Structure 1
Amino acid sequence: MKVLLTGSNGYIGRRLKQKLLEIENINLRLFVRNKKTLSSNIDKNIEIFEGNSFDKDSLKKALGGVHTAYYLIHSLNSDDYKNLDKISAQNFIDVAQECGVKRVIYLGGLGVKDENTSKHLLSRIETGEILSSSNEVQTIWIRAGVIIGSGSTSFEIIRHLTEKLPIMTTPKWVNTKAQPIGVDNVLEYLVDSLYLDYDKNLTVDIGSEQLTYKDMMLQTAKALELKRVLIPLPFLSINLSSYWLNLFTPVPFSVAKALIEGLKSEVIKQNDNAKKYFPQIQPISFFDSVKKAIKEIEENQVISRWSDNSGVIWDKDHSKEINSAIFFDRKELDISNISKEKVYKSFMSIGGNNGWFDFDFLWEIRGFIDKIIGGVGLKRGRRDQHKLRIGESLDFWKVVDIKKNERLLLYAQMKVPGTAWLEFKIENNKLIQSAYFYPKGLFGRIYWYSLIPIHYLVFNNMIKSIVKNAKK
């Protein structure tokens, strides 16, 4: 069976790709915007097609000869995502029908259409309706609510709030009911949908036990062996709640607001099709899902994170933009007496729990300021404390290029009046560390000049510390 996987760099997509590679009787094909975003150790037997769902020609190439296609696409990073999601879904199902695809498997969200339905959830529902509109292509629509797993948005929010706040003043939405589900169970439903003996469109609502968000936070505290007190305050608005999440969790304000708006309505199962059509799958409890997620984090086994596919700035070559940067700070050190592999390993481990060397407090201050003004801040950390891959987040940076034993290029995702990059490069027995900045207007120039003394301290210390660590 030839199977197409879209969204293979997303939180679910990366994990599903691993599961599908373990199945011997399918030929896996990936549809990606840019091949560079795939791991360097990707299976050589996988077919890879570049393109996007707004380009029908690239869709036709990717869907040609495909039996089943997974649709894990959304445009949440765009302000116009609701309209873009509709266009994307319609293009996909039209081309799938034209190419003779037999089945589309879509992962959407639990919920119903009413006056409380958030814009984000409504978009997910409308996407499912469009994909289910074909008379010739069967769609299996899996609907999940709160997905719990290491690196998932929901888990990261609940975990950070629980770890950092012994006493939490919470808005009334903490009493909203939901049916969370572990990410491993989600993957089971997606994989088993390949072989489901059913030929009509089917909507399958999945989830474990019904819990309020208050229940989830208290159970998370128990799993973390912490004691926590929650005090609901009915006057906390959506905006205030969003700022609260923005400050104490890794999610930026825009994501926090979209999530809070969605918490006005319950996300519970509307049908019993999971038990009827997938009786072999037994959803594990919320508490056990949390324990498993914590263990993966502690053992550095996080496969994917919600933030690693945010933004599309790694889809292009940054060389031209970097060359046009008006300001730059460059430091060089001789490394002729150290192996390139050790130097490379040293700068590839920067950030996250490993920190930014002797001036961590300055990075923390910059991260806090970024959070205050609606940026991503430092709390995203890094997925793995030793390895990086193109497209994933690293504190308030995005990894946009990696050349083994040669180069690491980071793109700044913090709020800055312009565009910034940080590059580490090994060349001619030298480590070259460069910060590039393209200012936006007068304020951008003032911003750069005001930071020169701090840059002098931070960047000098950084390159020396990288070399010092490489010598160990």
Structure 2
Amino acid sequence: MSDSAGFLPTGAVLMDPGRPAVLVTGATGYIGGRLVPRLLASGHRVRCLVRNPERLAGRNWPGVEIVRGDVSDPATLDPALEGVHQAYYLVHAMADKSPDFREQDLRQARTFAQACSRGHVRRILYLGGLGDPTRKRSHHLASRQEVGEALASAGVPVLEFRAAVIVGSGSASFEMIRHLTERLPVMVTPRWVNTRCQPIGIRDVLAYLLEALDHPDLSGIFEIGGRDVLDYRGMMLAYAEARGLHRIIVPMDVPFPRLSVHWVDLVTPVPKAVAGPLVDGMTTEVVVQDPRALSAFRVRPMAYREALALALQRLDEDNVETTWATGLAGGPEGMELGAHEGMLLERHHRHVKARPEAVFRACCALGGEAGWPAGNWLWQLRGLLDRLTGGLGMRRGRRHPRNLRVGDPVDFWRVEALEPGHLLRLRAEMKLPGHAWLQFQVRPEGAGSRLEQTAFFDPRGLTGLLYWYSVLPFHRFIFPGMVRALKRQAEAGM
């Protein structure tokens, strides 16, 4: 099975148009974004229900049917489920940064279940959370299991997989472990690092989800986990060993255990809204109690170190398919640039002695670990201010250091439009009194190219206007400097 998204692997089975459609919700997310190409490679007819189809515009998924809709809106669910025999439910309100994600998850699951019943869907496939329901569970894990019950409430059979930590490049749990281990030589941690867990590799999770379609009459709960049972301390030490790092972890009773959430928020790219439920879940033991999945499915899960090695390989190769931030809700959607009166803009342009492809490559390499070529410390300061006001800041980084596709996060921007070699438009997802975009256009000019960079701002009321004029002095330094830097990089043959 290929680990690359965006094309059908060699030897892929051609899709049979006569087969019933398989619906995938959450296709813009971490799991769904990896599952869809594997479904296509197996010859399935795939339909994706997404709130914002534009986020899938950069995916090369031949034959996929994309339907605009929302799992909380029955009016959009009914047409999306027409002709569907099996439906994957891979959405989670936590990704929307909702403070009441537990209640929102339940409402959405019940709405989806009722629509599946009306549409005569034969089965719902769901990925939930591992944890003994007879014992005290974290709110996060209890919510995941309650969603499974809500999906079954309308009488449609549900096949529910329950998993613990998913080990894969870009997953939120993995990124927490990775950054804590790499950035902190000595860690004084709460006692939850001694909680037992049975992590599972992302490849194995996808294999279970895919093989489930081969067992159309199978329903119920199946607990899935990797070959190893570890505590979180052991997982971090194994990561350190794989990276050749020496780390000291000291578990102890701390007076305010919730401070660990703020520490994760500070040290790792994972924001508090996501880290909170994850850390909460780490206080609950998540180990497979019922091994029936091993007899019902052909999947033979790998060991933790093997899954870890594969995740690190993907990171080292810059070959990360999806990340925790891929499906994270951000700013407003569906707004047309320039469609509103009162739009403020600042434009800069340069003639570049390089081919348009070279100029466009330089534009597509902005942000992430490479930073921003003019006033990077100001960008970082703006990201810090955004975090202090409840935003994501610069922590999301990039999926790939050079390649972009529509829907990709780039620090506190998201790729809204991408025309290879010609146009890149980023939409701001920071906290703002208005809506902002940063656009790059490249076209041939003489023996070289013309690079045009435009910052757009649609202010909201007087506060928006005051904000724009207050940051203009910084724009006068940042934006001209960025155009000059991109010109130099392109002419240097980047």
| 1:224-266 per-position Cα deviation (integer Å, ceiling 9, x unaligned) | 1111001223115244111110111001122222222222222
Which of 369, 375, 381 is 1:359 aligned to? Answer: 375
Q: Distance in 1 between matches of 2:313 and 2:397?
A: 17
**What's the % identity of the aligned pairs?**
38
Q: Relative to structure 1, is the Cα distance of residues 370 and 236 closer, same or farther in structure 2, using a 3 angstrom cutoff?
A: farther
Contact 1:252 1:374 in 2 (8 A): no
Query: Per-residue deviation at 1:334?
Result: 3.1
State yes or no: 1:396 paired with 2:415. Answer: no
Output aligned runs, 1:67-106, within 5 Å.
Answer: 67-76=85-94, 77=96, 78-106=98-126
Mean Cα displacement is larger for which, 371-380 or 53-62? 371-380
Which residue in the other structure is 1:431 paired with?
A: 451
Q: Could you tell me which of 176, 188, 213 is aligned with 1:157?
A: 176
Closer/same/farther in 2, CA of residues 175 and 417 from structure 1, 3 Å limit: farther
- Find the counterpart in structure 1 of residue 334 from structure 2: 316
Query: 5 Å matches for 1:284-303?
Result: 284-303=302-321
- Give the TM-score taking structure 2 as reference length: 0.87
C-alpha distance in 2 between matches for 1:303 and 1:314: 24
Give the superposition deviation at 1:447: 4.8
Matching residue's letter, 1:172: R
Cα shift at 1:314: 6.2
Helix, strand or coil at the partner of 1:329: strand
**Deviations 1:374-429, CA, capped at 9 Å, x for gaps:** 43232321111121122221112222222333322222233445443322234685
Secondary structure of 1:306's match?
coil
Q: Is the 1:322–1:436 Cα contact (8 Å) retained in structure 2? A: no
Deviates more, 1:44-53 or 1:201-210: 44-53
Q: Report which stretch shifted further, 29-38 or 141-150.
A: 29-38
- What is the TM-score when the length of structure 1 is the normalising length? 0.91
Matches for 1:34-183 after TM superposition, within 5 Å: 34-40=52-58, 42-76=60-94, 77=96, 78-113=98-133, 116-135=136-155, 137-183=156-202
After superposition, give the CA deviation of every residue in 1:30-63 in whole Å (9 maximum; x if it has no partner).
2222322114453342222221122223222221
Q: 1: distance between equivalents of 2:437 and 2:54? A: 18
* 1:231 is aligned to 2:231: no
Is 2:356 the counterpart of 1:340? yes
Matched with 1:379 is 395
C-alpha separation between the residues in 2 aligned to 1:343 and 1:71? 41
Distance 1:375 1:91, change over 3 A: closer
The CA deviation at 1:148 is 0.6
How far the C-alpha of 1:157 sits from its partner, in A, is 0.7
CA–CA distance in structure 1, aligned partners of residues 135 and 488 of structure 2: 59
User: Where does the alignment leave 5 or more consecutive residues of structure 1 unmatched?
Assistant: none
Map of 1:329 onto structure 2:
346
- After TM superposition, give the deviation of residue 443 of structure 1 in Å: 6.2
Give the match's secondary structure for 1:421.
strand
- The aligned length equals 466
Partner of 1:192: 211
- d(CA) in 2 for partners of 1:271, 1:37: 38
Q: Which amino acid aligns with 2:196?
A: K
User: What amino acid is the match of 2:71?
Assistant: S
Equivalent AA in structure 2 for residue 73 of structure 1: V
Q: Tell me what 2:15 maps to.
A: none
TM-superposition CA deviations, 1:45-95 (whole Å, max 9, x none): 222222112222322222111121111122221334323322221222222
Query: For the residues of structure 1 that align with 2:274 and 2:296, how far apart are their CA atoms?
Result: 34
Per the alignment, in what secondary structure is the counterpart of residue 226 of structure 1?
coil
Segment of structure 1 superposing worse, 1-10 or 338-347: 338-347
Deviations 1:202-235 (A, max 9, x none): 1011112221111111111111111100122311
For residues 72 and 41 of structure 1, the distance between their equivalents in structure 2, rounded to whole angstroms, comes to 18
Check conservation: 1:377, 1:414, Cα contact below 8 A.
yes
- 2:37, 2:61 within 8 Å by CA — same for their partners in 1? no
Quick one: distance in 2 between partners of 1:51 and 1:400?
Answer: 19
Compare 148-157 and 410-419 and name the one that shifted more: 410-419
**Aligned match of 2:293 in 257, 274, 284?**
274
CA shift in 2, pair 1:143/1:323, >3 Å: farther
- Find the counterpart in structure 1 of residue 23 from structure 2: 4
| 1:414 aligned partner, one-letter code | M
RMSD: 2.4
Which is further off, 110-119 or 51-60?
110-119
- For the residues of structure 1 that align with 2:396 and 2:296, how far apart are their CA atoms? 38
Instruction: Identify the residue that residue 216 of structure 1 maps to in structure 2.
Output: 235
Q: Cα gap change, 1:350/1:406 in structure 2, threshold over 3 Å: closer, same or farther? A: same
1:53–1:92 CA contact under 8 A, matched in 2? yes
CA contact (8 A) 2:433 2:464 kept: yes
Contact residue 355 and residue 444 of structure 2 kept, 8 A: no
Between Structure 1 and Structure 2, the one with more helix by share is 1
Query: Given that residues 331 and 429 in structure 2 are in contact (C-alpha distance below 8 angstroms), is that contact kept between their aligned partners in structure 1?
Result: no
| Contact 1:313–1:400 (CA under 8 A) maintained in structure 2 | no
Partner of 2:483: 463
Read off the aligned partner of 2:337 and give its amino acid letter: S
- Is the Cα–Cα contact under 8 Å of residues 59 and 405 in structure 2 kept in the other structure? no
Identify the residue that residue 258 of structure 1 maps to in structure 2. Answer: 277
User: AA paired with 1:459?
Assistant: F
Q: Is the 8 A contact 2:331 2:430 kept in 1?
A: no
| Residue 176 to residue 444, structure 1, CA distance change in 2 (3 Å) | farther
